[in-house]
Copies of this chain bind each other. A is one copy, B any other.
Amino acid sequence: MDFLRVAGAQLNLVVGDIDGNTDRIIEALAWAEDCQADVVLFPELAVTGYPPEDLVLKESFIRDNISAVHRLAARSGETAAVVGFVDRGAGQRDDAGHPRVHNAAALVAGGGLRGVYHKGLLPNYGVFDEDRYFAVGENGGALWEINGVAAGVSICEDIWVPDGPPAEQLAAGAEILLNINGSPYHRGRGSERQEMLAERARSAGVPLVYLNLVGGQDELVFDGQSMVFDASGELLYRAAQFEEELFWVDVPLPESSGVAPQAVRVTTGDLLDGDQEPAPPTHEPYEEIEEIYRAICLGLGDYVRKNGFSGVVIGLSGGIDSALTAAIATDALGAAAVRGVTMPSRYSSTGSVEDSRSLATNLGIDFDEISIEPPFTGFLEALGGAFELTEVDVAEQNLQARARGALLMGLSNKFGGIVLATGNKSEMSVGYATLYGDMVGGYAVLSDVSKTLVYQLARWRNRNGEVIPQNSIDKPPTAELKPDQKDTDSLPPYEVLDPILERYVEDDASVGEIVKEGFDQATVERVVQMVDRNEYKRRQAAPGVRITTKSLGRDRRLPITNKYSG
């Protein structure tokens, strides 16, 4: 049986690093040639990194990325390469005066650019804004002949819709579908993708190769998990998740119809003779909690590495959120890159300091103890006149949190390292956090992780022995900003709060709908009001890793000034 040797370069590329990305692509291209691959796939917008956002509006950026494609093309040989880049459109400008450009795939081989495909379906929902940047491609039915095989090339969203460009390619006689992606991770995304792709291959009756980007980019994590399906929809190979990988698979081709479809010639060699090699052993998906943990590690690690930070600084409260954050940071960056700081006040239990110290010991990270009493007392002294005759209230509580934030930033400014915010999604949703206090940080590791999920992740991290002190897991959550404070003084218990938040924030359900599902009306109304009122805090929050279908970041865009509630 004939087969096409398809290689995949599941690379971790860097947004804006056109030269660096191009070097990585050329390196992988050489590897693919060594493997005698007929074709090698690179991720969506591999040259520019994904998503480049408003960099696409810069004329110099477009020019530089096109030069890079010419450099790639000049370097190409017998293996055809499919490489994502930003192509110039037909020269018109859009309503805003920007040049019309396309999210495109270059087909390069034999020292030249053989063809270009323009993405036909542009996602413009959730985290995606592709209508802002790209014009719709109109060569959806084009085919590319690679060593005599008619291939349909498409980009990400193109394959998600049953009658998208790949359907046109099949109608034109495509014998294999090649789809390149920058598809971000969220919980459960892998199996959704696999099901959809298997169904596409099966109903098409041709093999399908899905190549995905890997790596963290601000809020997004691209999880790799590239996949190869045969013409019956069987999974032949699944690449690693959250890791770079170069792979190739001999993809069996279905019987040719005998009619040679119209196609642009990319390579003119012959298919490999002889028996096809078996696909390498497939990577099994991680169990869900481990997968989430690894997604967060990659998101954090890449944010720190790609932005050139020497390490991280974390305030350790003795609670579970900061403990889990420190464990993730240690796993992502190594213990030497992590500095934990406990900052007790008059309201801190001795347990909090001890638990933080145990955690630091267990992780092997640097540990400081800095009392906030001197600055806190200083604040109270400075405000003595203004606060005279007032009751002690949330103002004094927030000053403690803000003293801590400033101390962490002081360490960061003095010694380098980025401060990590430790708040979870439940707190951030209801605004149970101090702006410029515990919200301080360049990256918010748990900002898309509900408190309930924080517990699950902590228990998973402790599966081989106690790293996060059991006491931090067991004790009732508290901000320790006044005597005997508990989260439940201000919030419903998390087992009630979290399902309400999931329905309201992630699913856009109304109060009425949530109440119908069995929740107490007054509780739901109170939670919804807290969420709505605290939009201003979230607007000033650090970005964090997106792991759900709707994080509190770029995929949730609510007005601050807003009288709607419900």
From the candidates B160, B306, B402, name the one contacting A406 in the complex (CB within 8 A).
B402
In the bound complex, residues from chain B placing their C-beta under 8 Å from that of A57 are: 508
B378 near A379 with CB under 8 A, answer yes
Q: Give Cα A306–Cα B373 distance, bound, in whole angstroms.
A: 38
- 4 A-B pairs with least C-beta separation: A16-B564, A378-B378, A60-B510, A375-B378
Interface membership of A1, Cβ < 8 A: no
Q: Please report which residues of chain A, range 488-514, place their CB below 8 angstroms from some CB of chain B when the two chains form the complex.
A: 508, 510-513
- Cα(A124)–Cα(B49), bound, Å: 22
Instruction: Report B-chain residues with C-beta under 8 Å of the C-beta of A566.
Output: 60-61, 64
- Is the pair A54, B95 in contact by a Cβ cutoff of 8 Å? no
**Is A188 located at the chain interface by the 8 A CB criterion?**
no
A536 at the interface (CB under 8 A from B): yes
At the interface, yes or no: A259 with Cβ under 8 Å from chain B?
no
The smallest C-beta distance from A402 to any residue of chain B, in angstroms, reads 4
Q: Say yes or no: A542-B543 contact (C-beta < 8 A), given A160-B95, A393-B414, A406-B436.
A: no
Interface string of A352-395 (1 = CB under 8 A from B): 00000000000000001011111111110111011100100111
Contact partner of A382 among B16, B20, B131, B372, CB < 8 A? B372
The CA of A398 and the CA of B412, in the complex, are separated in Å by 11
Q: B557 to A129, Cβ gap below 8 A?
A: yes
A264 within 8 A of B: no
**Is A290 positioned at the interface, with any CB of B under 8 Å from its CB?**
no
* A382 partner residues in chain B, CB cutoff 8 A: 370-375, 403, 407
Say whether A530 faces chain B, with CB atoms less than 8 Å apart.
Answer: no
How many copies make up the complex? Answer: 2
From B54, B306, B386, B558, give the contact of A414 (CB < 8 A): B386
A interface, size bucket: 35 or more
- A-side residues, CB < 8 A to B, are 14-18, 20, 49, 51-55, 57-61, 64, 94-96, 98, 123-126, 129, 131-132, 157, 160-161, 216-218, 302-303, 306-307, 368, 370-379, 381-383, 385-387, 390, 393-395, 398-399, 402-403, 405-407, 409-411, 413-414, 435-436, 440, 442, 508, 510-513, 536, 539-543, 556-566
| Among candidates B60, B374, B409, B560, residue contacting A543 with C-beta atoms closer than 8 Å | B560
Q: Which residues of B contact A542 (CB under 8 A)?
A: 539-540
Assess the A562–B414 pair: CB atoms within 8 A: no
CB-defined contacts of A129 to chain B, threshold 8 Å: 129, 132, 557
B557 with A15: CB separation less than 8 A: no
Chain B residues within an 8 Å CB radius of A410: 379, 383, 387, 395, 398-399
How far does the Cβ of A66 sit from chain B's closest Cβ, in whole Å? 14
Cα of A131 to Cα of B377 in the assembled complex, Å? 53
Tell me which residues across on chain B come within 8 A of A378, comparing CB atoms: 373-379, 403
24 A-B interface contacts by CB (under 8 A): A15-B561, A16-B563, A16-B564, A52-B559, A55-B564, A58-B564, A60-B512, A61-B564, A96-B126, A98-B125, A131-B131, A373-B378, A374-B378, A375-B378, A375-B381, A375-B403, A378-B403, A379-B406, A382-B407, A386-B414, A398-B409, A402-B436, A540-B540, A543-B560
A399 & B395 in contact (Cβ 8 Å cutoff): no
- The listed residue (B385, B436, B557) touching A436 by CB distance below 8 A is B436
CB of B368 within 8 A of CB of A374, answer no
CB-based contact A95/B161 at 8 Å:
yes
Q: Chain B nearest CB: distance from A181 CB in Å?
A: 15
Task: Check B414–A125 contact: CB distance below 8 A.
Answer: no
Within the complex, which residue of B49, B394, B541 is in contact with A413, where a contact is CB–CB below 8 Å? B394
Contact partner of A561 among B123, B307, B402, B413, CB < 8 A?
A: B307
State in angstroms the CA–CA spacing of A368 and B395 once bound together.
17
Q: Which residues of B contact A370 (CB under 8 A)?
A: 382-383, 385-386
Residues in B with CB closer than 8 Å to A403 are: 375, 378-379, 382, 406
Shortest distance between the CB of A155 and any CB in chain B (Å): 15
Cβ distance A501 to chain B, nearest Cβ, rounded Å: 15
- Most chain B Cβ neighbours within 10 Å, of A381, A436, A440: A436
Interface-centre pick from A96, A381, A402 (highest chain B CB count, 10 A)? A402
> How far apart are the CA atoms of A563 and B303 in the complex, in Å?
12
Question: From A399, which residue of chain B is reached at the shortest CB distance?
Answer: B410
Contacts of A157 in B (CB 8 A): 95
CB-CB under 8 A from A60, the residues of chain B are 510-513, 566
**Could you tell me if A561 and B132 are in contact, using CB atoms closer than 8 angstroms?**
no
Quick check: B540 and A541 within 8 Å, CB to CB? yes
- With a cutoff of 8 Å between Cβ atoms, the chain B residues found around residue A368 in the complex are 386
In contact, A383 and B405 (Cβ under 8 angstroms): no
User: Do residues A386 and B411 form an inter-chain contact, with CB atoms below 8 A?
Assistant: yes
Closest to A305 in B: B561
CA of A548 to CA of B497, assembled, Å: 42
Contacts of A564 in B (CB 8 A): 15-18, 52, 55, 58, 61, 64
Q: Report the bound CA distance from A15 to B368 in whole Å.
A: 47
In the docked arrangement, what's the CA distance between A95 and B37, Å?
Answer: 35
